[in-house]
Structure 1
Amino acid sequence: MKNHNYFVYITTNKSKKVLYTGMTNDLRARLGQHLEDAMNKKKTFAGKYNCYFLVYWERHQYVNHAIEREKEIKGWKRFKKEDLFNSINPDWRFLNDEVD
């Protein structure tokens, strides 16, 4: 049976004022899309607010689990999202270069 990868992730802008939560099956490509949109047409929320700096991600094997988790996190207040990624990334390091 094939192992699938789906990612729920949180990005921010350079000043760390805005958070964006998303889900994808190719995290590296999706981060590239966010950067491309931010540098050009700014068609999406992430692009408009320059949210292409990765601060948190988690992997899921099943797409329905990833979708449920994304919806759950999107429903949270900012402080709860910060608590989530502060537990593994308290310095808010940009993790883009650590994605395989």
Structure 2
Amino acid sequence: MSGGYLYILANRKNGALYTGVTADIAARMMQHKAGKGSKFCREYGIDTLVYVEPAEHIEDAIAREKAIKKWRRAWKIDLIEKANPDWRDLFFDLV
């Protein structure tokens, strides 16, 4: 199996967060940007890629996603701010 990505989306700085995993980050982000991502993301306007973490194997990305989903919100915000202090949309780095 090929690699994958763990990613975190937000609707604004310190706003609603969504954690996901995908094998194709660019294609998945296009879905989110088009409003065809998860229902939760559509309802809360979550489409800003604020954190992305590549994994060599998709299984590793899935395991990381499951772990992060159990984290406290403050830990997730700390992870984002260490990598992306301005909460800028990393989607534009992909295209």
TM-score, scaled to structure 2 = 0.88
Which deviations, in whole Å up to 9, do the C-alpha atoms of 1:28-79 show, x marking residues without a partner?
11111112226xxx86111211111000000001111111100011111111
What is the match of residue 82 of structure 2?
87
Within-5 A mapping of 1:1-100:
4-14=2-12, 16-37=14-35, 44-99=39-94
Report the count of equivalent residues: 95
In structure 2, C-alpha distance between the alignment counterparts of 1:30 and 1:24, rounded to whole Å = 7
Say which SS state the counterpart of residue 87 (structure 1) adopts: helix
Higher relative contact order (CA closer than 8 Å, sequence separation 6+): 2
Pick the structure with greater CA Rg: 1
8 Å CA contact retained: 1:35, 1:47: no
For the structure 1 residues 5 and 17, does the alpha-carbon distance in structure 2 shift closer, same or farther, using more than 3 Å as the test? same
Runs of 4+ in 1 over 2 A off after TM superposition: none
TM-score by structure 1 length?
0.84
Q: State how far apart, in whole Å, the 2-side matches of 1:16 and 1:33 are.
A: 23
Q: Could you say what the CA RMSD is over the residues aligned between the two structures, in angstroms? A: 2.0
Q: 1:87 to 1:15 in 2, by over 3 A?
A: closer
Contiguous gaps of at least 5 residues in structure 1? none
